[in-house]
Amino acid sequence: MSVNRSIHPRFPGWEYQFCPKCGGKLELRQVKRGEPERLVCTACQFIFFLDPKVAAGVIFKLDGKIVLARRAIDPGYGMWVFPGGFIDPGETVEEAAIREAREEVNVEVELQGLVGVYSYSGVPIVVIVHAGELVGGELRAADECLEVRSFALDDLPWEDLAFSSIRDALGDYLRRYMGKTPPEIKEEF
């Protein structure tokens, strides 16, 4: 089966047509029975695994309120998130979560524990979220943020969260770290 349709069937939007090793044409093939089709080079037989990206995030409070940032980039421009982003090569999940808090909202945090790991069918991203404690810095919108605010629990902008992982992690954080029940959100992300 040819990949000329330019979209991998399991990850819409991932457009790969040529081998990263030799430049040969990629095609979808069944490499091993029981596994999904893989992109395979027709020239050198290199198997191009489309592994998911891994992102790290951190949820923390300022004066008892949860800190969120409004995104200044797509996807989710103008919507609310906690600090987070992709892990750089050679960086640990924990280092990435701490770095993202510094880059996005100008604060230093210490991680307190794992909130959860979030993945969704058809989405090639795994999000790992920690709870954190604010230990330094001055809260302000920085890299990739329009604004940053701290929200009382009753004022969290559930309908304006950028991604399912943000909603799900905030819900888990409220349950596990604050003993609260998040509201039922019917809107699909």
| Active-site annotation holder among 27, 37, 95, 147 | 147
Q: How many CB atoms lie within 10 A of CB 96?
A: 22
Q: Annotated catalytic, 147?
A: yes
Selection from 110, 114, 143 nearest residue 127 by Cα = 114
Known catalytic residues are 147
